[in-house]
Amino acid sequence: MNLDNMKIPNHVAIIMDGNGRWAKKRLLPRVMGHKKGVETIKKITIRAHQLNIKVLTVYAFSTENWARPKDEVNYLMALPKDFFDSFMPELMKNNVKVTYIGNADRLPEDTKKILNRAVEKTQDNTGLILNIALNYGGRQEIVQTIQDISQAVFRNEIKSEEITEDLVDQYLMTQHLKPYSNPDLMIRTSGEIRLSNFLLWQLAYSEFYFTDVLWPDFSTDDFDQAIAAYNKRQRRFGKIS
């Protein structure tokens, strides 16, 4: 698909859904779907870089995912090591910067070390930002933001009447992505049509694209189709076009 004459979104967010169903269809353990899904992240990251997208946020592990079987959770926590061990040369070659959002306190120490190492190694890269949502929940982010702003008011650092949408943006986990902290396009794979506690504040005016394709099967052509669909939308932000 030729995207040369199309408008490219600055920030694309993806709910990578369907790994388990992909594995089940093939009579494989669920973890094999996650392993295949990691390969898809690599392909889509490089494609996003090629399209000059500024930020790609991927929903890797939600706060609710801790309720999954222990073996599956342990496997998911170990995936960042395999991901960065194999993908770091390409990330550096393509000038990709790695960041992450979510509550890192509950993550295993090894997982935190791997993530922080990837962030540190790519911190000077100036291309696409690959922003990984790990142990992330949108409601929890908003609660934490309210708490942080309340403390700032208590310390007389700000006045309550000074609390605006712009101020809230400064306290969210995505503030480091400015001016592209709010996704232009949100993609969800596997046919599910819901947000699942993902970027609830930031997605207020995003365009949504849902596809039945399971994440491990999601190709660069599928990604391009989502961009093409985005181009057919009229983004009025509540105004008259």
Residue 166 burial (CB < 10 Å; 0-12/13-18/19+)? exposed
DSSP-derived pairing of the beta strands 55-62 and 129-136: parallel
> What's the length of the chain?
241
Q: Are 173 and 99 in contact (CB under 8 A)?
A: no
Q: Is 17 a catalytic residue?
A: yes
Alpha helices in 51-180 (DSSP H): 70-93, 109-122, 138-154, 165-171
Active-site residue, from 17, 19, 135, 182? 17
Angle at 163 between CA 157 and CA 167, to 5 degrees: 85
d(CA 74, CA 17): 18
Contacts of 73 (CB under 8 A, 6+ apart): 65, 66
Q: Are 182 and 205 in contact (CB under 8 A)?
A: yes
Angle at 224 between CA 222 and CA 230, to 5 degrees: 110
Q: Is 65 a catalytic residue?
A: yes
CA dihedral 81, 86, 92, 97 (to 10 degrees): -40
Active-site residue, from 65, 94, 103, 125? 65
The catalytic residue positions are 17, 65
